[in-house]
Amino acid sequence: MAEDFRTLDGVDVKDKRALVRVDFNVPMENGAVTDDTRLEAALPTIRRLRDGGAKVILISHFDRPKGRRVPSMSLKPVVAPLGKLLGAPVAFANDCVGEVAEQAVAAMHDGDVLLLENLRFHAGEEADDPAFAEQLAALGDLYVDDAFSAAHRAHASTDAIARLLPAYAGEQMRRELEALDSALGNPKKPVLGIVGGSKVSTKLDLLHNLIVKLDRLAIGGGMANTFLAAQGWAVGASYCEPALGDTARGIMAFAESRHCELLLPVDIVVAERPEPGAAARVRDLGEIDPHERILDAGPQTVERLCAAMDASATLVWNGPLGVFEVPPFDRGTVAAARHAAELCKAGKLVAVAGGGDTVSALNAAHVAGDFTFVSTAGGAFLEWMEGKSLPGVEALRAGRA
Ligand code: ADP
Ligand code: MG
């Protein structure tokens, strides 16, 4: 797969100014970075370029200043923790284009690292403005995109700039593309999908794309309730989208026509409210009082899902199976996640997962490290799972000008 994309392999970067698009949209509190994950993720590319003798110029967005200079949204607080992780000084320029940036770049020596101020202080960034992209491009000799999580947006620093400079995928981008390719692009078969979460309405494109690609698809979480209701089962006071009955039946028919086996719940865990420690009752389908809610997958459902994992070579997962934030309704998700992790560790399964809440659930179950890959890219991961082409990824395809 990697050969489909231009990477830094074999590229001589000595004395070159490498403009590197990273995602430093990190969690921050009172001007201090509270989670280093995204800084760590950028290190392999930065190190590789420094080792090759390049000048490393980092560009990123942070938060949503909407084209204005908002001091509380400065990237400056990233400098110290990044320098510490890297074990080398990181310089900072108060603007990402124009004289300030040009002078900072001109002062660089080979191996130096410079972080430029928030791209979104300029309206041209989100507008994918070619003139703004030209100002950025003037600062570099080559462009490296290491921000998969920003690749679903056609912005100047992910899209327009890739037409102005030789463009390459960074190390983190390459890892992410390879993992995604092993899950949906060219996966080992059979492939099992798990889609959970709350709403069918936000995951229609996802379901359609997965049905085309997968051998089996398990539907869990609140969205399974909509499918159960569409099949005529009582769902009590559960979260449900009754207006989507026809849509759900259409999805079931589509799956049948594409020979994708749908796995819907066969038992349920109900309670009156999702409260910590609430009395959770295991029930058969339809066995629910009008004031009760389905809050998790039942044990037989989880067992069947684990058996489906045993019979699969690849698993792709988005969305928890229950209201995992409120124990004991995390049980189904945790049990399924642990099983997938065991299979991965034993080399029997390639498991790729992503989505904001999915990542939280896997972290809470302490299994994220055992999965083949857990994407923290959020929206970009979901759009990729929906089969959409991502502007920031397309820009790096070999063969494109
Ligand atoms: P992700 O962020 O990984 O894409 P989603 O945002 O689609 O996942 O779904 C996560 C949400 O789904 C969680 O807040 C969880 O509480 C909710 N959820 C899961 N199962 C149920 C259920 N049975 N009823 C209501 N909400 C549910
Ligand atoms: Mg979510």
Please state the three-class secondary structure of 59-91 as a single string: ECCCCCCCCCCCHHHCCHHHHHHHHHHHCCCEE
| Neighbouring C-beta atoms of residue 31, cutoff 10 Å | 10
| 3-state SS class at 107 | coil
Name the token pair of 175.
Answer: 């890892």
- 274 CA to centre of ligand 1 in angstroms: 12
Calpha distance 361→330 (Å, rounded): 8
Q: Whose CA is nearest to atom 11 of ligand 1?
A: 197
- For residue 318, give the ligand 1 atom closest to its CA: 3
pLDDT tens per residue, range 321-370: 999 999 999 999 999 999 999 999 999 999 999 999 999 999 999 999 99
Q: How far apart are the first and last CA of the chain?
A: 19
What mean pLDDT comes out for the span 195-200? 93
pLDDT at 104 over 80: yes
| Averaged pLDDT, 365-394 | 93
CB-CB contact of 313 with 350 (8 Å) = yes
Q: How far apart are CA 98 and CA 217, in angstroms?
A: 51
Q: What is the pLDDT of residue 2?
A: 46
Kindly report, residue by residue over 245-288, the tens digit of the pLDDT.
999 999 999 999 999 999 999 999 999 999 998 999 999 999 99
- Whether residue 1 is predicted with pLDDT greater than 70 in this model: the reply is no
- 8 Å CB contact between 180 and 384: yes
Q: What is the per-residue pLDDT for 400?
A: 59
Which residue's CA lies nearest to atom 8 of ligand 1?
Answer: 319
Tokens of 61: 């967005």
One-letter amino acid identity for 196?
G
Spell out which residues line ligand 1, taking CB within 6 angstroms: 196-198, 221-222, 239, 294-295, 318-320, 322-323, 325, 355-358
pLDDT of res. 340: 98
CA distance 358 to 368: 10
pLDDT at 3: 55
Calculated CA dihedral for residues 338, 198, 293, 336, nearest 10 degrees: -10
Residue 378 has a pLDDT of: 87
Per-residue model confidence as pLDDT tens digits over 108-132: 999 999 999 999 999 999 999 999 9
Long-range residue pairs from 368-372, CB within 8 A, at least 24 positions apart, any chain: 370/341, 370/342, 370/344, 370/345, 371/340, 371/341, 371/344, 372/179, 372/182, 372/344
Q: Does 32 have pLDDT greater than 80?
A: yes
Using the 8-state DSSP alphabet, how is residue 387 labeled?
T
Residues 65-80, mean pLDDT to the nearest whole number: 98
pLDDT at 133 over 80: yes
Close Cβ partners of 253 (under 8 Å, ≥ 6 residues apart): none
pLDDT at residue 4, as a whole number? 83
- pLDDT value, residue 399: 62
> Is residue 147 a contact partner of residue 395, using CB atoms and an 8 Å limit?
no
DSSP string computed for 232-267:
T---TT----GGGHHHHHHHHHHHHHTT-EEE--SE
Confidence band, pLDDT 50/70/90 cuts, at residue 300: very high
User: Which of 204, 317, 357 has most ligand 1 atoms within 8 Å of CB, for mutation?
Assistant: 357
40-61 pLDDT, tens digit per residue, is 999 999 999 999 999 999 999 9
191-195 and 216-219 beta bridge pairing? parallel
State residue 277's pLDDT score.
Answer: 86
DSSP state of 289: -
Which residue, judged by its Cα, is nearest atom 4 of ligand 1? 355
CA of 198 to the centre of ligand 2 (A): 8
Q: Could you give the CA distance from residue 223 to residue 200 in angstroms, rounded to a whole number? A: 5
- CA–CA separation, 255 vs 261, rounded Å? 7
3-state secondary structure of 208: helix
Count the residues in the chain.
401
Burial class (CB in 10 A: 0-12, 13-18, 19+), 401: exposed
- What band does 160 get if pLDDT is binned at 50, 70 and 90? very high
Average pLDDT, the chain: 96
Rounded CA gap, 205 and 313, in Å? 24
CB of 218 closer than 8 Å to CB of 308: yes
Closest C-alpha to 107, from 92, 122, 119: 92
Task: Answer for the pair 175, 147: CB distance below 8 angstroms, yes or no.
Answer: no
- For the cut 90, the answer to whether the pLDDT of residue 20 exceeds it is yes
Residue 270, classed as helix, strand or coil, is: strand
User: What is the 163 CA–ligand 2 centroid distance (Å)?
Assistant: 33
Which pLDDT belongs to residue 387?
92
For range 122-145, the mean pLDDT? 98
